[in-house]
Amino acid sequence: MRITIVGCGYVGTALARHWRQDPAVQLTVTTTREKRRPRLADLAERVEVLRAGDSAALRCALEDADAAVFCLAPRGDRLVSADDYGATYRDSFTALAALVAELPRLRQIVYTGSCSVYGDAGGGWVDETTPASPRDDHGRVLLESEELLGRCRAPGRHVCVLRLGAIHGPGRELGDRFRRLAGATRPGDGRQHSSWIHRDDVVGAIAAAVSGGWDGVVNLVDDEPLPVAELLERVLTAGGLEPVRWDPAAATGPPPADRRISNSRLHQLGYRLRHPRVQVPHLKRLDQQLFDAVAAQAREAPRQRRNHNLHREIDVVQRFLNVLQPGTYVRPHRHLREQAGTGFECFLVLQGAVGLLVFDDAGAVISRQRLEAAGPLRGIELGEGQVHTLVALTPDAVLFELKQGPYRPCADKDFLPQFPAEGTPEAEAQERRWRAMFQEEEPAPG
């Protein structure tokens, strides 16, 4: 079978990889950017650089095709206008409708459209028999494009419109998409439903539509429409991030469309979803965005440091980030536990530099270690009962700490009494003396 994929972006590229494994498929793919040709060359027998609204170029790409799949998307990641939508979708299907009679081999057309053509259903269910009622110009362009595509249907030529939910998958994980909303206040209440589909199911359904000769509209969404607020709560909780706060009083304009998209026809056609519902892995990312956020909190904190816990207090293993600013005073202490050997503490510097001082019971320094993210020494594990302190040697120094739990505030630390308490002038002076000890060992410039 000869197949042409028009538009080889996120979905189209994954689809090409899928069909490249089938020796019975001869593949042509298109892209709008010449620089992508080398990356696509291994995925197809032929790569064409074109805009689908160019009738002559489109005819060339489709002239030998038994099936064509249109995975169109506006160019770039920015928000695009309805006019840009028109140039991408309307112009493409206007060109196709004008030349399809010249393509006698073309027996199947599949188009990845959007569920945004549906209107508001007040939270009720909609299916393929529900009249489309777009709420904005973008949706109206998409509906008009479907109607243009419908003109390409003929005896012996099927046209299938897959109305997709929002796509997630490799490279578009929900955690990455929504983590920027952590702790934010959003207008409304988040009760409106959202429908999602995994990229692998988009690929699988397109392949099934081509091989099975699907015709008409098919909603391509998973089995579980989720209220936006519930989805965000799942994603942010799984990432150990602050929840979104909702403010109904701040909502302006008409409420968002609320509908639950039915995928019953998809099931009737025999397609079995690989991802029937959104699965949110529990992943807590330790990245620069988190470092910067906690460092900003440390700069504002009276103690000039801030913990970001990855554990719960009841967990038997405590793991957390400790972000320190120069000037923070950590009173020398040790960790003692009822069970021998469980009072260890492990430090790993992820950003900047931190000084570690180890004392004997009389308060004399017996070890001085400089830990730096750039090395040569990046981390240390302290044995049980070792009295120690930490000194921030650079701004925004980030430590990853690991020690035995659960956390008991009254018994976690055994302080060495000869050192001053936090918040006193004596403590500030002591911290400066400790920091000076590490400055002495730094090599002179030049």
Does residue 74 form part of some domain? yes
Does residue 414 form part of some domain? yes
Does residue 279 form part of some domain? no
| Predicted model pTM | 0.79
What CATH code is carried by the domain that includes residue 259? Answer: 3.40.50.720
Look up the domain containing 323 and give its range.
288-439
Does residue 444 form part of some domain? no
Q: What is the pLDDT of residues 64-76, one digit of tens each?
A: 999 999 999 886 5
Q: What is the pLDDT of residues 221-248, one digit of tens each?
A: 999 999 999 999 999 988 888 899 999 9
The pLDDT score that the predictor gives to residue 15 is 98
Same domain, 329 and 209: no
SS3 labels along 85-137: HHHHHHHHHHHHHHHHHHCCCCCEEEEEEEHHHCCCCCCCEECCCCCCCCCCH
Same domain, 316 and 232: no
Mark the ranges of the chain whose per-residue pLDDT is less than 50.
443-446
Same domain, 119 and 253: yes
d(CA 132, CA 116): 9
Does residue 283 form part of some domain? no
The pLDDT score that the predictor gives to residue 216 is 97
Same domain, 171 and 227: yes
d(CA 93, CA 84): 14
Same domain, 112 and 159: yes
Task: Work out the angle at residue 18's Cα, subtended by the Cα atoms of residues 22 and 198, and round it to the nearest 5 degrees.
Answer: 150
How many Cα atoms within 13 Å fall on the side-chain side of residue 444? 0
Same domain, 90 and 166: yes
Same domain, 128 and 206: yes
What CATH code is carried by the domain that includes residue 341? Answer: 2.60.120.10
Number of folded domains that form the chain: 2
Same domain, 115 and 197: yes
Does residue 242 form part of some domain? yes
Please say whether the beta carbons of 214 and 158 come within 8 A.
yes
d(CA 257, CA 260): 10
Alpha-carbon torsion 98, 102, 103, 104, what sign? positive
Q: Which residues contact 398 (CB under 8 A, 6 or more apart)?
A: 291, 294, 295, 321, 322, 323, 349, 350, 351, 352, 373
- Selection from 93, 114, 106 nearest residue 28 by Cα: 106
